[in-house]
Structure 1
Amino acid sequence: MKAGLRVSAALAAFVAVGAATAARAQQGEIKIGEINSYSGLPAFTEPYRKGWQLAVDEINAAGGVNGKKLVVVSKDDGGKPADAVTAANELVSREGVVLIAGTFFSNIGLAVADFAKQKKVFFMAAEPLTDAMTWSQGNRYTFRLRPSNYMQAAMLAEEAAKLPAKKWATIAPNYEYGQSAVAIFKQLLSAKRPDIEWVSEQWPPQGKIDAGAVAQAIAAAKPEAILNVTFGPDLVKLVREGNTRGLFKDRAVVSFLTGEPEYLDPLKDETPEGWIVTGYPWEAIKTPEHDAFFKAYRAKYSDYPRLGSVVGYATMKAVAAILAKAGSTDTEKLVEAGEGIELSSPFGPMSFRKIDHQSTLGAYVGRTAVRGGRGVMVDFEYRDGAKYLPSDDEVRKMRPQS
């Protein structure tokens, strides 16, 4: 045999051995695709990433799923629906992932859910809150972890209905999430209090609020109470302008998400007191499930968890539980395994409803206060998500057959 042929034969043998080794390695792992707006909203998504990384570490340390290691391939969608769909397509076609998890913004979640429907890929939506995700645009292949706008609105409306206020104004970002949150809160609160009048709506663009103009417009309508749906840097600007102009003085405020440390911490001593909020009072929750999560998170990151941390952690734990129950990576078997599955979370027991694939994970409802120069949640209570969901008959009217 000539030297060149010997080298070629050896190289071919080496490549063959390498391919066989890679194939065996792939047989011993399960690849999960993950997409989120890491560059678009790092205050939430970075803790979220740490949460799912902790979950994956725990899962693999315990032997993986059905003896196979979980491997997560993560992509940043840049806060753009088109980029999220491109990422999803690459994860499925090039990376060979068995399912997709993640997303934050509601419009992005809906875009990926439509991709999942078209391509018949299992999608665990972690954060997007629009009710369309599991109802009007729900589909067989999409599940959602976070308590939806409907669920959080129902919890907040329960408290808002006790207020004497009759004239209400709303402030919300002008995209799917804000529009959905305002619509369902108004519907639920008006049903409890037919005497309520809605006197003003402000729709600033997400991430680009002119807080002074918004505060001035709301004040001019002279409401007795305000619903706020802004979050992140927009919330900080609104609070600062509102405090400066006395917008919140002697007015009740009900606010989605404001009690989450991602959004509460930046307010520091400017935190308005007495707002009714959903959130995450991490330092005051004393349950076995949360204690275990908190200790593991702090040990790994030398930091306290945010709400995003809980969402990321619970997302991957849910994915692993569904994979384990299915005993397969086949999409249809994953869907069947996910419907009705019961599992644990840092907030306690939860399940995914068969009727709409919405989880029953709940939320904490309380009031804002300032303690030691920073914002905290006080007088809080955990609300079980299962108690704040519509009946199966109501869901059937809203959800297409899929």
Structure 2
Amino acid sequence: MSALLGASVHAAEPIRIGEINSYKSQPAFLEPYRKAMLLAQEQINAAGGVDGRPLELVIRDDNATPGDAVRAAEELVSREHVALLAGGFLSNIGLAVADFARQRKVPFLASEPLTDKITWANGNRYTFRLRPSTWMQVSMLVPEAVKLHRKRWAIVYPNYEYGQSAVETFKTLMKAAQPDVEFVAEQATPLGKLDAGPVVQALAASKPDAIFNVLFATDLTKFVREGETRGLFKGREVVSLLSGEPEYLEPLGAEAPEGWIVTGYPWYDIKTPEHGAFLQAYRKKYGEAPRQGSVVGYVTVYAAAEAIRRAGGTDPEKIVDAFRNMPLKTPWGPIVFRPQDNQSTLGAFVGRTALRGEGAKRGGVMVDYHYADGAKYQPSDAEVQKLRPAR
């Protein structure tokens, strides 16, 4: 029976999902992301596809530029006839594809870009976002930052949409929660081109009590190493967005910082049945542990498939309607795509960094963590209405 079902699924016309991402420029996150997408596609098709039709991913690299991303989106829609678009890593690219989706009235599931604008100021009917936004993740960190009772804060971030958005939110929420807070230094650095020495020196010269860091990938590695060498972190608390994600923490090895408050993904300690099944399947297929990107890629494909299934086909308006208020099971628990702003309620793990292991196996992990449910870290409906134009 299962063999006959598999044959009929693969004989049927495939449903295509067009996926656009910065694979060449951000491999640490996007290689695991791609692997997990392919795992999800394989699982869905083995179970009968979407209403008997196989799911097919059509993947394009955007070369980390908005123009190339839009050209890829046009090709996927016009020539490949995809049912929906998905992907996006860098926030400026996510915004460009979201605007394309609005103009062409094509569903777009922004899997990774974190800028608040994607669902608020630039939000539109056709664009949905999976990962928690910068506002959501920063609002998960701010209560921990307030508990530190530090007055003088220095800030470092990549100088593009994601970094700017995160810093603006951090300042706003910190001032509301701790009115006497002071921001004594701010270093905005070119993405992927951090000159760590002068940046660390400038931060240290401001004599902060604590540091808010938004750097990631190779910029984070340079910052940590130079900061340790120059004693920037000694006696200071650090609150750091994304730094607990294995993609960025593990490359530091034994140089990983200890005691930073971070958002991340402690895959090694999550004991739920849903996560256990995902972990086992991913390890079986690839012989390695998943990363943050793995979870995002995996859920992206399942979310797209579920929306198409609920829509009963590939009509774009019906897919959009299906996404709104759509529940979905994930390795981290159930989520919903909010109809107020098309944002999912996927959360993040918040904890501290620590070192574990001996010798060559010594490296950074997250400890004392908790899962912050994204549904609890959203503005009120009235605030969303002010932030999101009617489109």
What is the TM-score normalised by the length of structure 2?
0.96
1:212 aligns with 2:201: no
Paired amino acid for 1:370? L
List gaps (5 residues or longer) in structure 2.
1-8
Contact 1:28 1:67 in 2 (8 A): no
1:135 aligns with 2:124: no
SS where residue 158 of structure 2 aligns?
coil
Paired amino acid for 2:23? Y
Paired amino acid for 1:47? P
SS where residue 109 of structure 1 aligns?
helix
Paired amino acid for 1:396? Q
Q: CA shift at 1:190, angstroms?
A: 1.3
Q: Which residue is 1:273 aligned to?
A: 258
SS where residue 379 of structure 1 aligns?
strand
Q: Which residue is 1:383 aligned to?
A: 372
Distance in 1 of aligned mates of 2:148 and 2:313: 51
Taking only aligned residues, the RMSD between alpha carbons, in angstroms, comes to: 1.0
Aligned residue runs from structure 1 range 308-319, under 5 A: 308-319=293-304
SS where residue 268 of structure 2 aligns?
helix
Q: Deviations over 1:233-257 (max 9, x none)?
A: 0000000000000000000000000
Aligned residue runs from structure 1 range 331-350, under 5 A: 331-350=316-335
SS where residue 284 of structure 1 aligns?
coil
Q: CA shift at 1:164, angstroms?
A: 1.7
Q: Which residue is 2:343 aligned to?
A: 358
Percent of counterpart pairs with the same letter?
63
SS where residue 203 of structure 1 aligns?
strand
Distance in 2 of aligned mates of 1:49 and 1:75: 11
Q: Which residue is 2:249 aligned to?
A: 264
Q: Which residue is 2:277 aligned to?
A: 292
Q: Deviations over 1:161-220 (max 9, x none)?
A: 101210001000000000000000111111110010011110010000010110000001
Paired amino acid for 1:198? F
Q: CA shift at 1:50, angstroms?
A: 0.5
SS where residue 174 of structure 2 aligns?
helix
Distance in 1 of aligned mates of 2:249 and 2:46: 34
Q: Which residue is 1:371 aligned to?
A: 356
Of the candidates 42, 47, 51, which is equivalent to residue 66 of structure 1? Answer: 51
SS where residue 150 of structure 2 aligns?
coil
Distance in 2 of aligned mates of 1:330 and 1:27: 18
Distance in 1 of aligned mates of 2:152 and 2:78: 53
Q: CA shift at 1:27, angstroms?
A: 5.5
Of the candidates 229, 239, 242, which is equivalent to residue 254 of structure 1? Answer: 239
Of the candidates 75, 80, 83, which is equivalent to residue 60 of structure 2? Answer: 75
Contact 1:40 1:78 in 2 (8 A): yes
Paired amino acid for 1:100? L
Distance in 2 of aligned mates of 1:42 and 1:288: 29
List gaps (5 residues or longer) in structure 1.
1-23
Aligned residue runs from structure 1 range 49-60, under 5 A: 49-60=34-45
Q: CA shift at 1:28, angstroms?
A: 2.4
Q: Which residue is 1:190 aligned to?
A: 175
Q: Which residue is 2:213 aligned to?
A: 228
Distance in 2 of aligned mates of 1:182 and 1:96: 39
Q: Deviations over 1:250-300 (max 9, x none)?
A: 000000000000000011111111000000000000001100100000000
Q: Which residue is 1:31 aligned to?
A: 16
Q: CA shift at 1:146, angstroms?
A: 0.3
1:122 aligns with 2:107: yes
Distance in 2 of aligned mates of 1:351 and 1:362: 11
What is the TM-score normalised by the length of structure 1?
0.93
- Give 4+ residue runs of structure 1 displaced > 4 Å after superposition: 24-27
Distance in 2 of aligned mates of 1:26 and 1:262: 38
Contact 2:120 2:341 in 1 (8 A): yes
Q: Which residue is 2:6 aligned to?
A: none
Q: Deviations over 1:107-162 (max 9, x none)?
A: 00000000000000000000000000100000000000001101100000011010
Paired amino acid for 1:215? V
How many residues matched? 379
Of the candidates 203, 209, 228, which is equivalent to residue 188 of structure 2? Answer: 203
SS where residue 282 of structure 1 aligns?
coil
Distance in 2 of aligned mates of 1:78 and 1:292: 34
**Whose Rg is larger?**
1
SS where residue 55 of structure 2 aligns?
strand
1:326 aligns with 2:311: yes
Aligned residue runs from structure 1 range 11-26, under 5 A: none
